[in-house]
């Protein structure tokens, strides 16, 4: 009987050591959404300068980039799938790293699917939504094993072994333009994330970015007043303005300059919130 007890004690000791490996100074942020969060603009040389305190937890395997899913890498674009571009997350992380003490590291996880509705991230609806998705989107969804929400939760739990989840970033809504129930749907996704990952809503704010503004020719700008109501249903939600964030001619996506400014605003807001904790 002594040998099994000894082995059990060894396992408990190893699990205890694993628990202590979590670094309270490693701040991790989840991000999800559709094409603007996925990254649409071609990144430029200035965007590929790494900050040693800013890391990305790879969400899919990218052999050409020498990246494996579930491993940390310097956070340089692409932060999402292998062939995506610049995102608000790039300059969110850089801004936050510059705003916080040198002892703090920043980590980001980006699980996004261009063109998707918020329903793709609903636990009870993603399968039925995926079945009716266009073929080009199904290929993107397949890279997350058919369940982007599940991949986000999986990676979040993995990341918790290394650090502490401090917030969630969202940029989505173009495909839900005019949907008055969008804020409640987002709340459902947010609540599920908190529950499935084991997070406290009081300490995990949700930052949601506006879509391309009307002044920039935004084709979905009418969704911004709906996005503005998100804090009414999620007390710890904050809307990030897209005013003056440059867009491209399609009226749906930001330019690289637009992503930089929008990302800065995400980071600046999160820095303000963290300073109050």
Model confidence pLDDT, tens digit, residues 142-190: 999 999 999 999 999 999 999 999 999 999 999 999 999 999 999 999 9
pLDDT band for position 277 (cuts 50, 70, 90) = confident
**Does 92 map to a domain?**
yes
Residue 171 annotated as catalytic: no
The two most distant CA atoms of the chain are separated, in Å, by 75
Tell me which residue of 5, 53, 31 sits closest to 156, measured CA to CA: 31
Pairwise pLDDT comparison (248 vs 18), residue with the higher score? 248
**Does 194 map to a domain?**
yes
CB atoms within 10 A of CB 275: 9
Average confidence (pLDDT) over 73-81: 97
Q: Among residues 31, 175, 253, 255, which one is catalytic?
A: 253
**pLDDT, tens only, 193-203:** 999 999 999 99
**pLDDT, tens only, 113-129:** 999 999 999 999 999 99
Torsion region of 23: left, alpha or beta (phi above 0 gives left; psi -120 to 50 gives alpha) = beta
Q: Which residue has the tokens 């996004």?
A: 112
Q: Which residue has the tokens 């609903």?
A: 122
Domain total of the chain: 1
**Does 207 map to a domain?**
yes
pLDDT band for position 1 (cuts 50, 70, 90) = very low
In this prediction, residue 5 carries a pLDDT of: 52
3's tokens: 């040998």
**Does 157 map to a domain?**
yes
Beta bridge partners of 110: 31
Q: Which parts of 100-147 fold into alpha helices (H)?
A: 126-131, 135-142
Residue 35 annotated as catalytic: yes
What does the mean pLDDT of the chain come to?
A: 93
**Does 5 map to a domain?**
no
Residue 257 and residue 47 in contact, taking contact as beta carbons nearer than 8 Å = no
In this prediction, residue 18 carries a pLDDT of: 44
Beta bridge partners of 86: 41
In this prediction, residue 40 carries a pLDDT of: 93
What angle in degrees, to the nearest 10, is found between the helix axes of 148-159 and 182-197? 40
Statement: residue 81 has pLDDT above 60: yes
Average confidence (pLDDT) over 212-221: 98
Domain range for 102 is: 20-275
**pLDDT, tens only, 5-55:** 544 444 444 444 444 479 999 999 999 999 999 999 999 999 999 999 999
**Does 77 map to a domain?**
yes
**Does 79 map to a domain?**
yes
CA–CA distance, 102 with 44 (Å, rounded to integer): 26
For residue 54, report the phi and psi dihedrals to the nearest 5 degrees.
-120, 120
In this prediction, residue 16 carries a pLDDT of: 42
CA–CA distance, 73 with 79 (Å, rounded to integer): 10
Q: Among residues 35, 80, 175, 242, which one is catalytic?
A: 35
Tell me which residue of 217, 240, 247 sits closest to 95, measured CA to CA: 240
Statement: residue 84 has pLDDT above 50: yes
**Does 6 map to a domain?**
no
In this prediction, residue 21 carries a pLDDT of: 76
CATH number at residue 251: 3.40.50.1110
pTM above 0.85, yes or no: yes
In this prediction, residue 4 carries a pLDDT of: 47
């Amino acid at each position: 009987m002594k040998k099994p007890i000894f082995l059990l004690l060894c396992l408990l000791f190893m699990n205890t050591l694993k628990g202590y490996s979590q670094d309270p100074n490693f701040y991790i942020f989840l991000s999800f959404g559709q094409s603007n969060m996925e990254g649409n603009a071609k990144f430029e040389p200035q965007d590929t300068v790494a900050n040693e305190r800013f890391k990305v937890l790879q969400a899919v395997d990218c052999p050409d980039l020498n990246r494996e899913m579930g491993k940390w890498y310097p956070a340089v674009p692409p932060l999402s799938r292998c062939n995506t571009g610049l995102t608000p997350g790039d300059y969110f992380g850089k801004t936050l790293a510059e705003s916080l003490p040198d002892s703090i590291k920043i980590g980001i996880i980006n699980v996004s699917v261009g063109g998707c509705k918020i329903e793709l991230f609903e636990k009870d609806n993603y399968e039925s939504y995926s079945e009716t998705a266009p073929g080009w989107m199904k290929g993107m969804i397949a890279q997350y094993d058919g369940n982007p929400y599940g991949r986000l939760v999986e990676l979040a739990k993995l990341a918790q072994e290394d650090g502490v989840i401090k917030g969630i970033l969202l940029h989505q809504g173009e495909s839900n333009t005019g949907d008055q129930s969008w804020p409640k749907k987002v709340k459902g996704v947010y609540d599920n994330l908190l529950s499935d990952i084991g997070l406290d809503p009081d300490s995990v704010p949700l930052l949601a970015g506006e879509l391309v503004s009307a002044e920039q020719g935004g084709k979905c700008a009418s969704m911004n007043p709906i996005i503005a109501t998100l804090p009414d249903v999620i007390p710890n939600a904050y809307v990030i303005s897209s005013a003056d964030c440059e867009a491209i001619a399609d009226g749906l996506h930001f330019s690289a300059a637009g992503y930089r400014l929008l990302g800065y605003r995400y980071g600046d807001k999160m820095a303000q919130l963290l300073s109050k904790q």
